[in-house]
Amino acid sequence: MQAHDPDIWFGDETSFWGDPAPYLIWAKRGSKPTVPYHGQHYRVSVVGAVRPRDGEFVSLLISTGNSQLFQVFLDELNRQINPVKRNILILDNASFHKVKHLNWGKLEPWFLPPYSPELNPIEELWLFIKTTDFHHWMARSQEHLEDKVAHVLHRCMDQPQRIRSIANMSAYF
């Protein structure tokens, strides 16, 4: 990678749920396995960006996807990027990504074609986290879910080589 090459980031939002979705399990023929349910639906939303070249990952827990909270994330990402380099942030076409009053700072937004999540490597990271850390797991409370999500995201930030392999596009960067 040349010194003048841009840093390319991929951003996206996702939600983590505190109660398990129905899933396939091994069970004895004729038995009726049950999925626990405590009557509450807990949810935590996250916005994040990954740089597949080296596995750098930045994320922020948010209450919902909107332009004000997205701006908070952009401000944080701007604090963590190399301000001398060109920084491209590739995103989907969520309406709050295209609000005119957003201050992009040193980030240059590029938008994916509509309905093309397969082109965004952060989708692989979200899927990996959900299947390895939240499959068969149930939150006891909203705070329990928030703590678990924060713990998992911090662990990811401390493992850039693992993130690089999960983002699965390192050959292109």
66's tokens: 């909107």
Give the containing element (helix H, strand E) for 162.
helix 160-167
pLDDT of residue 80: 94
Contacts for 143 with CB less than 8 Å, ≥ 6 apart: none
The three-class DSSP label of residue 112 is: coil
pLDDT of residue 3: 57
pLDDT of residue 143: 96
Contacts for 67 with CB less than 8 Å, ≥ 6 apart: 96, 99, 101, 102
Residue range 10-16+41-86+93-172 forms a domain whose CATH class is: alpha beta
pLDDT of residue 72: 96
b/e per residue, 73-107, with b = 16+ CB within 10 A? bbeebbeebeeeeebebbbbebeebeeeebeeebb
Average pLDDT per run of 10 along the chain, which is 173 residues long? 81 90 76 74 94 94 91 97 94 95 97 92 94 89 96 95 80 48
Long-range pairs of 25-34 with CB within 8 A, sequence gap ≥ 24 = none
Contacts for 153 with CB less than 8 Å, ≥ 6 apart: 46, 48, 59, 61, 129
pLDDT of residue 137: 87
* pTM, to two decimals: 0.87
pLDDT of residue 171: 47
